[in-house]
Structure formats: C-alpha cells, structure tokens
Amino acid sequence: DIQMTQSPSSLSASVGDTVTITCRASRSISGYLNWYQQKSGTAPKFLIHTTSTLQTGVPSRFTGSGSGSDYTLTISSLQPDDFATYYCQQSYSSPPTFGGGTKVEIK
Amino acid sequence: QITLKESGPTLVKPTQTLTLTCTFSGFSLSTSGTGVAWIRQSPGKALEWLALGYWDGDKRYLSSLRSRLAISEDTSKNQVFLTLSNMDPADTATYFCAHRGGDDDAFDVWGPGTMVTVSS
C-alpha cells in the first residue's frame, strides 16, 4: 500500500496569510493526488483532483501542485472559512490512502 | 445533484456485526466509472478507506480488515451496504459513504456520516 505523509500536522495562521501543506507519497503516484477539506463535525469536501484541478465552486486561492511523490496545497490570502483540516489522498493505486491531515488553526 | 446518506445503528456490542446502509440519489451504480466507497474516521483521527464497490461488480477491501468486511448493493433501491463483523471498541468511528465518479478512486460527494459506538 502507498503511504501518504502530510506535514505539518497542524499550523497556526492569520487571515490574509499564505499557507502551504505538503504531502509525500511512499512512491510515485503520477499526479493522482487529491485534496479534501474537513470542518469539525462535517464530512470532507472534495477540493482538488489529480494534483491541480479545482472542483466547481472552490475558490481560486486554493492551488495544488506537485509531481512524482511530492505534492503541495497552497492557500493564498487565508479566509475565515478556510480554517479546517485538510487531507491528501492518492488515487493512483488500490487501496486509496489518505494522509494524516493538517489542521489549519487561527493564530 | 448527487446525494448520499448513511444509516444504521449508533451503538453495537463487541463481537456483533455492523450493517450500514448508504442510500444515494443522482447517479446510477450501473454507469461506467461509478462506485460507492465506505470510509471511516475514528474520533480525532484521520480518514481510513474501508471498501469500494464498482459499477462493474468489482469490490475492493482494506486488506487489514478484509476478513471482516463485505460490501453489497441493491441497485433497485439505490442502496449500498457495508457489513463489518466481530465489532471491537477500536471500530468506534464515524462511517461515511462517498461517490466515486471518475476514472480514478477519488471521492467527489460524501454523505454526512453516521457515528457508530462499540460498547457493551
């Protein structure tokens, strides 16, 4: 199984900041990297598909990039609605596996 | 519009078998590329994929739980079921079902989840 490692596990930031979350796969996943946002007590929301394709309705301040085994999610000009936990997930091979999550908190 | 909703018991005893139902609308499990996954999240923990049933009848399971898991469907009722046998307190979690809609195992729409507690 492909292991997904996210860092940091948590971060504190202010409204307007730019934050970057990284996700590393245990081997190359050829761009099959997805990002989800989860707010407390709710289901995850699908944000980005295959590295960089924003889902409908996702603000353009969210950017995904990467290749091979290393990927990043960047949130520019952090907004109050962005404080949440973010998960990466690989869909390159079965079983699909998730990272451990990154909690973005208000500083 | 695709929607999914999980239902089932909120409390089960150790050693019992859990059966959860995912009732969905807005898509057909017969459509090529579609699938329904089950994913769980223990309190304060990360997401853990459990199982996935595909449009073509293929079923995949988390290997560490394979002997305890089964996924099935009633396409006439737009329902997918998950059974997890020999429940343990470590299986206490929120269980989500989610839609797979593309060429890979990404999950674009999720149900709200159902919390299951395992306790005697």
Residue B4 — pLDDT band, cuts 50, 70, 90?
very high
Whole-number pLDDT of residue B49: 98
Whole-number pLDDT of residue B101: 86
- CB contact under 8 Å between B104 and A32, yes or no, is yes
- pLDDT(A75) > 90: yes
How close B74 comes to chain A (CA, Å)?
A: 24
Please indicate whether residue B102 or residue B54 has the higher confidence score (pLDDT). Answer: B54
- pLDDT(A30) > 90: yes
With tokens 């979350």, the residue in question is: A21
Half-sphere exposure of A73 (CA within 13 A, CB side): 31
- CB contact under 8 Å between B47 and A44, yes or no, is yes
A81-84 contacts: CB < 8 A, separation 24 or more?
A: A82/A37, A84/A37, A84/A38, A84/A39, A84/A40
- In chain B, whose CA is at the least distance from the CA of A3? B48
- CB contact under 8 Å between A92 and B104, yes or no, is yes
Residue A57 — pLDDT band, cuts 50, 70, 90?
very high
Quote the tokens at residue B51: 């199982």
Q: Is A40 exposed, middle or buried (0-12, 13-18, 19+ CB in 10 A)?
A: exposed
Residue A89 — pLDDT band, cuts 50, 70, 90?
very high
**Do the bridges between strand A97-98 and strand A70-75 make them parallel or antiparallel, or are there none, so unpaired?**
unpaired
* A61-65, B100-104, B105-109: the lowest-pLDDT one: B100-104
Q: Which DSSP symbol is given to B24? A: E
Amino acid, res. B87: M
Q: What is the mean pLDDT of residues B88-111?
A: 96
Per-residue pLDDT of B20-72, as tens digits, reads 999 999 999 999 999 999 999 999 999 999 999 999 999 999 999 999 999 99
Whole-number pLDDT of residue A85: 98
Whole-number pLDDT of residue B80: 98
Per-window interface: A 52-71 vs B, CB < 8 A = 55
How close A42 comes to chain B (CA, Å)?
A: 6
- pLDDT(B102) > 90: no
DSSP string, B87-109: --GGG-EEEEEEEE-SSSS-EEE
Q: Could you give the CA distance from residue B118 to residue A18 in angstroms, rounded to a whole number?
A: 41
Whole-number pLDDT of residue A83: 94
Interface test with B, best of A37, A56, A91 (most B CBs within 10 A): A91
Q: For chain B, say whether A72 makes contact (Cβ under 8 Å).
A: no
Quote the tokens at residue A35: 């990002």
Interface of B with A (CB under 8 A): 37, 46-49, 52, 60-63, 96, 102, 104-113
Whole-number pLDDT of residue A31: 98
